[in-house]
Amino acid sequence: MLTSTPTRPAHRAFRVSVKRVQRLSPSFVRITFHGDDLVDFGDEGLDQRIKIVLPTEATGYDSFPTSDDWYGEWRQLPDHERNSFRTYTARRIRRAEREVDVDFVSHGDTGPASAWANHAGVGDDMMLIGPDGTSGWTGSGIEWKPAGAATTLLAGDETAVPAISAILEQLPDDARGCAFLEVPTAADILDLTKPAGVDVHWLARDEASYGAPLIDAVRDWTSRYLTATHHGKPIDSATLADVDVDHDILWEVPQGRDLTGEFYAWLAGEAQAIKTLRRFLVSEVGIDRSQVAFMGYWRVGKAEM
């Protein structure tokens, strides 16, 4: 519990280099980063959001500002010196070894982050923007907030597999619920650790469209397992403000109302698919929005900005 507001930012830049590259499956490549100052990297885990900073052709990382106001200074840089970012999950944090693993979805060389991961080699430089464990802030960049819920639902596509896997690993032994993970093919199913009371279902997408297997599975599970005690009155779909996923970010996360004995869902992946699930759970089933975290992690045809 904070007694006063910390004066330093919750996140900062960490200079790292590639220590290991491990091809986990056709679609996943795990990069282990090492850097001496990772000893200060916040290690709360769960769905810890980080940024990877891509090197510029002109200056690499030389012009990247490292002051407390790095973001403000970064915005002022001329285009050719301004590094671009992409958002990822810290799959595992080993502070004592000064290591962080990031599991990259390999979607060809169509995006700079995927291309970087596909060609990464031991010793390559990287910069991560991550939680500063010495800042005094806690919980920054973590959206998993079940707040005592009795039953939890986790659903996501391959981009959310690292976050869901990390969350499952940290759940208490008596946790109950279900997790659905949609991956490109059955060859992308990974080992994970989870409590006995949480059922995990891997869904191979194969030729289906992004999110289709996930949407079917969540609909089916909801109709079979989610009893009337877990949800309320369906809301009129006209009152649910829609998000234009081609222009706005689909990101709605509850901020920790006490959910003791209730239901909590955490959904992340391709934005249009997550939007469909949002309408289904909130509008059709009537689950209160304070019980569901919805996050568009990426959008077909749109680069992250």
> Which residue pairs from 78-85 have beta carbons closer than 8 angstroms and sit at least 24 positions apart in sequence?
80/56, 81/56, 82/56, 83/53, 83/54, 83/55, 83/56, 83/127, 84/53, 84/54, 84/112, 85/51, 85/52, 85/53, 85/54, 85/129, 85/304
Give me the 85-114 binding string for ligand FAD, x by CB under 6 A, dash otherwise. Answer: -xxxx-------------xxx-x--xxxxx
Q: Under the criterion CB under 6 A, does residue 197 sit at the interface with ligand FAD? A: no
Q: Which of 20, 23, 119, 302 binds ligand FAD (CB under 6 A)?
A: 302
Pick between residue 110 and residue 239 the one whose CB is nearest to ligand FAD. 110
Q: Under the criterion CB under 6 A, does residue 240 sit at the interface with ligand FAD? A: no
Q: Which of 41, 74, 264, 298 binds ligand FAD (CB under 6 A)?
A: 298
**CA–CA dist 122, 142 (Å, integer):** 29
- Tabulate helix, strand, coil % of the chain (nearest 5): 25, 30, 45
Positions in 136-165 near ligand FAD (CB under 6 A): 159, 162
Phi-psi region of 148 (alpha: psi -120 to 50; beta: other; left: phi over 0): left
Give me the 35-64 binding string for ligand FAD, x by CB under 6 A, dash otherwise. Answer: --------------x---------------
**CA–CA dist 302, 136 (Å, integer):** 35
User: Residue 117 Cβ, how far from ligand FAD at the closest point, in Å?
Assistant: 8
User: Residue 214 Cβ, how far from ligand FAD at the closest point, in Å?
Assistant: 14
Question: Given the rule CB under 6 A, which residues bind ligand FAD?
Answer: 49, 86-89, 103-105, 107, 110-114, 159, 162, 297-304
